[in-house]
Chain A
Amino acid sequence: MMKVKGYLVVIVLLLSLGLSNVAALGASPKTITIMAHWSQTQQEKVIPILQEYERLNPDVKIVVQGVPMKEFLKKILVSRLGGDTPDIYHIYNLWMPQLVENGVTATPPKNIQALIKKSFTLSAVQGVTQRGIPWGFPTEINDYMLVYNKKLFAEAGISGPPKTWTELLADAKKLTKKDASGNIVQAGFAVRPGDISGVFHPWMSLLWSNGGEFLSKDLKKAAFNSKKGLEATEFFADLVTSTQFSSVDDFIAGKVGMIIFAPWGRLYFQDRMGGNFNDVATAALPASPTGGRVSVAYSWSYVVDKNSEKRPEVWQFLEWLSTKMAGGSATSPMGHYLVDILGAIPSLEKDIASRSDILGNNYNKPFIEGLKYARTEPQLLPAEEVRVEMAKQLEAMLYKQKSAKQALADAENKINEILADYY
C-alpha cells in the first residue's frame, strides 16, 4: 500500500511539474520576428520603438533579424526552404510579384486592406498592390533628384542647378577638372558603377523624361529601343563618359559636382561628409528636350509570411507600427523611424504632413514635390533579371564597349527573351 502511495505521490508531482511548465509556456510572450535590411546602428535605434509596443502588449516580444540588402532575397529563399521563416519581411517592392505569385505572402485581413488603401500615398499603395490586393504596409518611398555640390558650382562660376539636359551636360563639362597628365581629378557628374540601381534608375528617369517607355503596356516586350530611348541613352552616355566614371565616394569626398540620387542620401551624406554636407543641395531633375521630367520611384513595405502562426498579432503590431499616432505624437512610430533615423520619405499621408519640419526643408523639398511626377518602376516576375540585364548593357556602353544603339539592341533581345519565359 505504501508502495502504491509512493507511486501516486511521484505521479502527482510529475503532473504538477508538467502543468506548471504548460502554464509557464502559456504565460511566455509570443515572439514576432522582423527580417529587415537595416544596418546594426539602425537596428539599435529601432529597439526603443519596439520596446514601446512590448510595454503596451506584454504578451508580445519583437525581434529584428538584420540582413544586408544584397543578401535579402537569398535569405528569404533559404529561410523558407529551411522552414524557419520570420513573421514579417521588410521587402523591396520589386520582389512583390514573385512573392505573391508563389504564395509567400499572407493576404491582409479586409480591414487592414481598407486601412492601407485610405491612409498611404497613391504611388506607395500601387507599389504594394498585386492582383488588386495591397499585400502589406508601405514604408519608405524614394524618387530621384539632382544632388549637387554648391561649392564646386560656385568655384566653376555656375549660378544654380541646371534646368535642362543641355545645361546639365554643359555644367558637367564645366565642373570637370583634369591634371597635367589628363587624369580627371574632379568629375562633373557621376553614377555608381557596378551598382544596378545606381545605373538603371538614373537612366530610366532620363528615358521616361524624354517620353520613352521601358516596356510595352502588357509587359511582354521591351519598348526602350525607340527614337526617344536612343536619344536618352546617348545623352546618358555623353553625360557619364565625358566626365569619366566616378563614384558616390568621390561625391562624398567633394570631387564630383552632381549625381542623381534618392532621398535617403540626406543622412547618408551627412554622416560621411560632416560639415561639408552644408555644400550639398538638391534640385528637380533637369527637363528633357521634350520638356518632360519624370523620376523613377521605388518603395518598400512590410509583408507577412503565410507560414506565420501569429498572423492576427502580427497584423495588429504592423497596424500600430505603421499608422498609430502613439503617445500623443502626430507621427506614426514607423514615420518617426523613417524620417529621423533612416533619412527616408514615409508613405503615410499623415506622416508626410506632420514632419514638414524635415520633409519640407530645402534638401527634401524637391523629393517631396518630385513624387507628383514620379513613376513606380515596373513590377515584373523577372524584375531583378531584367534590371541586371539592362544595367549590364548600359555599363558596357559607359565603358565604351558598345555604342548606345548596340547596347539598346542587345538589351532588347535579351529582355524580350527573359519576358517570354514568364509572360
Chain B
Amino acid sequence: MRLNLNLRASKTLHAYIFLTPVIIFLVVFTVVPLLFGIYISFFRWNMLVPPSQAKFIGLENFRYILLQDERFIPSLLSTFYFTIGDVILTAVIALLAAVALNSNRRFRVFLRTIYFSPVITPLVAVSIVWSYIYHPNYGLLNELLSWVKLPPQQWLTSITAAMPSVIAMSVWKRLGYYMLIFLAGLQAVPQELFEAATVDGASKTTMFRRITLPLIKPTMLFVLVVLTIEALQVFTQIFIMTQGGPVDATRVTVLYMYDTAFSYLRMGRASAMAFILFIIVLIVTFVQVRLMREGGMNTYTN
C-alpha cells in the first residue's frame, strides 16, 4: 500500500516536472497579461509613463465604452456580422468538402493538399495578395467579371461589399484546416451503421441526417467553438485589407481596441474593451457547449 502511494506520488511529481515549462509559459504570457489587462482597465494610462503613474478612475472606462462611446457597440455588431458569416460558411463548406472527399478515395490526398495549402500560407501575405485581387481597377476578380460581361465591383472600397469580401477571403484561408478535422470525424464513424441503414433502404440524405450528423456532433462542437473564438477576435486580415473602412464598415472590436490603445494612447479604455470582449467570448462558448454537448458515439449507442 505504502509502495503504491510512493509510486503514485512519484508519478504525480514527474507529471508536474514535465508540465512546469508549459505552466510557466502559460502564466507569463497568458495569465499575467490577462490579470494586468483587467487591472489596468480601471486606470487611465497612456503607456508613455510607467504603469505606477497611471491614474485610477474606477469604472469610468466601462461606463464610457458601454454608455457613451459611439463606436464600440457598432464595432461589436461588425464583429458579430463577421463571426456569423465566417463561422457558418466555413463550417458548412468545410463539412461538405469533407463529405465529398470522404467518398472520393481516388483524389483524396491530392485534393486534401490543395484545400490545405492556404492554411500554411501566412495570413499577412494572403491578406496582401487578396487586397490586390479585390482592387477595383486592376484586380483579378473584376477582370474575371469582365470576361462574363458583368460590371466591375468596388469590393473592399464599398461599404456594403467590404465585409463580405473579407469574410470570403477568411473562409478560403481556413477552410482546409476544418475540412481535415471533419474528415477525421467522418472516418471515425463505423461503416457498419451505413451498411445496416442501406439494408434498411435509407437514402443517402437520411443517412447523412440520421447517422453522420449526430455522430460527428463532438467534432462539430469543436469546430464551431474554435471558429467562433477565432472569428470574434478577427484582426489581421481586416487590419491589412481595410483598416476598418470604408467609413466604419469593417471596424471590428479588436481593431478598434488596437487603435484605442496604440493610436489614441488610451490603454485603460482598450483593456476594458478587451475585458468585455473576453466576457462575450466566454458566454458564446458556454452557450455553444450547452447546446451541443449531447451527441457522438456514446449518446448514439445509449
Contact = CB atoms under 8 A, between A and B. Distances in A.
Interface of A: 73-74, 77, 80-81, 98-99, 102-104, 181, 183, 193-194, 245, 249-250, 253, 255, 382, 384-385, 388, 392, 395-396, 399, 401, 414
B201 interface: no
A410 B242 CA distance: 23
B137 A77 contact: no
9 contacts: A77-B262, A102-B49, A103-B49, A193-B157, A385-B263, A392-B247, A395-B245, A399-B159, A401-B159
Contacts of B47: 77, 80-81
Contacts of B135: 249
B153 to A, nearest CB: 10
Interface of B: 46-49, 70, 135, 137-138, 151-152, 157, 159, 242-243, 245-248, 259, 262-265
Given A183-B151, A384-B263, A395-B247, 7 more contacts: A73-B263, A77-B265, A81-B47, A102-B49, A181-B151, A253-B137, A396-B248
Contacts of B265: 77, 98, 384
B23 to A, nearest CB: 24
A388 B258 CA distance: 14
Q: Is chain B's interface secondary structure helix, strand, loop, or mixed overall?
A: loop
Contacts of B262: 73-74, 77
B243 A77 contact: no
A183 B145 CA distance: 14
A181 B152 CA distance: 10
Contacts of B46: 98, 102
Contacts of A399: 159, 246-247
A233 B46 CA distance: 33
A194 B242 CA distance: 8
B247 A77 contact: no
Contacts of A392: 247-248
A193 B151 contact: no
B242 A388 contact: no
Given A98-B46, A104-B48, A385-B263, A245 B157 contact: yes
Contacts of A81: 47
A102 B48 contact: yes
Nearest to B262: A74
Contacts of B70: 414
A406 to B, nearest CB: 13
B165 to A, nearest CB: 14
A51 to B, nearest CB: 33
A196 to B, nearest CB: 9
B37 to A, nearest CB: 14
Q: Is chain A's interface secondary structure helix, strand, loop, or mixed overall?
A: helix
Contacts of A382: 264
Contacts of B49: 102-103
A396 B247 contact: yes
A73 B245 CA distance: 21
Contacts of B263: 73, 384-385, 388
Contact of B247 (A73, A104, A401, A414): A401
B48 A77 contact: yes
A182 B259 CA distance: 37
A401 B246 CA distance: 11
B264 A384 contact: yes
Given A104-B48, A384-B264, A414-B70, A193 B246 contact: yes
B137 A249 contact: yes
B260 to A, nearest CB: 9
By CB atoms of chain A within 10 A, which of B151, B152, B259, B264 has the most? B264
A250 B137 contact: yes
Contacts of B247: 392, 395-396, 399, 401
Contacts of A414: 70
By CB atoms of chain A within 10 A, which of B151, B248, B259, B263 has the most? B263
A76 B48 CA distance: 8
Nearest to A400: B159
Given A73-B262, A194-B242, A99 B151 contact: no
For the complex of A and B, 8 pairs with smallest distance between CB atoms? A102-B48, A74-B262, A385-B264, A77-B47, A194-B245, A396-B247, A384-B263, A395-B247
A149 to B, nearest CB: 16
B243 A194 contact: yes
A194 B48 contact: no
A382 B137 CA distance: 36
A194 B131 CA distance: 14
A392 B265 CA distance: 18
A99 B151 CA distance: 50
B124 to A, nearest CB: 12
A210 B152 CA distance: 38
A194 B159 CA distance: 12
Given A74-B262, A80-B48, A183 B152 contact: yes
A92 to B, nearest CB: 12
A130 B247 CA distance: 33
Contacts of A255: 137
A377 B223 CA distance: 50
